[in-house]
Amino acid sequence: MPLQRYIKQYNDIELTALGMAIPTVVTIAEALKRDGLASNIEVKISTVNSKKDDEGRFFQKAKIQIVLGKAEKLEKAVVATTAPKETSDTDMKA
C-alpha cells in the first residue's frame, strides 16, 4: 500500500528501530515531514535488553519510536480530491 494512502486511512504512522537502524528511521521520518506528508506527534527513546553474549550477559541496545500524524497539507489535499467538482456555466456550454 502506498504510504500516502496509508496515512490517509490510518492518520498515524509509528516507526520503530533498534541500534544501527535508528538513523534510517530518523531519515524516513524527516523525509515525510519535509515532503509535507506527516508531522511529529511523539518521539520516545529507550534501551532494551538484547541477546545474550557468549558469557550469558545481555546487551543493551538503543530503541527509538517515532509517531507521525497526518500533516495539515495532506488533509487539505484529501479534502480537495474528495470534494465534488463544481461545474461552471462555461463548462456546461462546451
Residue 38 exposed, middle or buried by CB count within 10 Å (0-12, 13-18, 19+) = buried
Please tell me the predicted confidence (pLDDT) of residue 87: 52
The pTM score is 0.69
Domains of the chain and any CATH numbers: 3-72 (3.30.110.20)
In this predicted model, what pLDDT tens digit does every residue of 26-80 receive, in sequence order? 999 999 999 888 999 999 999 998 877 788 888 899 999 999 998 876 556 555 5
d(CA 26, CA 16): 9
* Integer Cα distance of 27 and 46 in angstroms: 19
Query: What confidence score (pLDDT) does residue 11 get?
Result: 87
Identify the sign of the CA torsion 26, 24, 14, 49. negative
